[in-house]
A and B are shown apart, each in its own frame.
Chain A
Amino acid sequence: MKPSMLSTASLTESELGQLRKAVSLGFANAASGLSLMVDRRITVSSPGLRIIPIGQVPGLVGKPDEVVVAAYLSISGDAAGHILLVLSPDAADDLVEMLVGYRPDAMAALDDVERSALGEVANVTGSFFLSAIADATDLLLQPSPPAVIVDMAGAALDVPLIAVAMTMEEALVIDTRFADDDHQINGLFLMFPDVASLRLMLERMNRLDE
């Protein structure tokens, strides 16, 4: 990955390494949060840090017109960014069943109970992720209330991407896959940090390291 690709935030290799370390901690913490909720072990893959043209981001999720269940959170406070949790409809149904004790009707739209269960999953994973990053940077990071989206993957991704596209040609995407041992719960956690915030986060990490 060439750091120069990201026009407004040329990241050095060592900064990328630092960032990777911080988000790994964040994702591990998010996985513990989810484990507590569903009472089973959840593991996360080693995070990908990609700087790619905005047009290529939907490809990370799969086919852009395939239906997904996504939950969106925006990050505010000392730093800004976006979090999108993406699940296949099957995985979302599994998750709802674990949380509320019944399986949603596959043919029907999600009802309020099911939506709020998935929103709570996003809330917990997002908050656990952010609290680990906040600890590593000593910054105040607050997640918004979650919004659950059942739609084409491309449509769900429009939500964070329009914000990124205001300032950038390329998106810095931090992603990880999470799954339980028998791969019943299996999904994608995407984070789009605001580039100005990224600078601040790196400075704070350096300061705290000294």
Chain B
Amino acid sequence: MNDHNTISVGIGELYATRDPSAVLAAYGLGSCVGVSVFDPVARVGGLAHIMLPSSKDATQQTSGYKFADIAIPALLQRLLELGSMPRSLVCKIAGGAQILMAPDHMNSFRIGERNIEAVMNALQQYNIVPKAMDTGGSHGRTLRLLMGTGQVLVRTVGGDITEL
């Protein structure tokens, strides 16, 4: 794969662009969720790498796009600013795995599942239902959004690449 124009969207970050040569990538999603949104008409797309369900869970005020309830509205706002139409947005998501299966580790209890729930709820506020998802399980994933075509590719830890 040509990684020449790959833009890595790190944990807790989001990125939106009109650049058709860009590939937006969220690498090594574990319990995190990669949310890709593409407008095939306006050729605008974006990706958020979400870590936690809700900013209300924060024990103190923190900013940033790590929370689903902040990142999703911010991502959609960026896309609108770049000229997308809410009705033509195609959303695809991957991630939200349960990496730790051991019951000893309560801080990460069901975090992947709760992240997916929160992403779905936040999207629903905008009447968006993901067109494709590769979520859950217990393995890591890398999500790529190819801006030239709008294709979304997911690579799993085993190395297999599938198109969502």
B50 → chain A, closest Cβ, in Å?
Answer: 11
B98 → chain A, closest Cβ, in Å?
Answer: 10
Known: A55-B11, A163-B108. A155 touches B157 (CB 8 A): yes
A154 and B99 contact, CB distance less than 8 A = no
A-B contact count (CB 8 A): 120
B155 and A162 contact, CB distance less than 8 A = no
User: What 0/1 pattern do residues 147 to 178 of A give for CB contact below 8 A with B?
Assistant: 10111111111110111011111000000000
Cβ of B32 under 8 Å from chain A: yes
On chain B, the residues within 8 Å of A154 by CB distance are: 11, 27-30, 32, 140
A162 and B52 contact, CB distance less than 8 A = yes
B153 → chain A, closest Cβ, in Å?
Answer: 12
A72-B101 Cα distance, complex, nearest whole Å: 12
Known: A65-B140, A167-B60. A144 touches B105 (CB 8 A): yes
The DSSP consensus for interface residues of chain A is mixed
A200-B48 Cα distance, complex, nearest whole Å: 36
A149-B64 Cα distance, complex, nearest whole Å: 28
B152 → chain A, closest Cβ, in Å?
Answer: 16
- Taking a contact as CB atoms closer than 8 A, the residue among A54, A147, A152 that contacts B140 in the complex is A152
User: Quick one: which of B68-120 are within 8 Å of A by CB?
Assistant: 97, 99-102, 104-105, 107-108, 111
A151 and B139 contact, CB distance less than 8 A = yes
On chain B, the residues within 8 Å of A56 by CB distance are: 10
Known: A74-B105, A165-B12. A158 touches B59 (CB 8 A): no
B100 and A72 contact, CB distance less than 8 A = yes
Known: A54-B66, A159-B105, A167-B58. A65 touches B28 (CB 8 A): yes
Known: A55-B11, A145-B102, A167-B62. A162 touches B27 (CB 8 A): no
A residues contacting B by CB (< 8 A) are 8, 54-58, 63-65, 67, 72, 74, 144-145, 147, 149-159, 161-163, 165-169
Please provide the 8 A-B residue pairs with the shortest distance between their CB atoms, ordered closest to farther: A154-B28, A155-B30, A155-B140, A152-B140, A158-B30, A64-B28, A55-B10, A152-B28
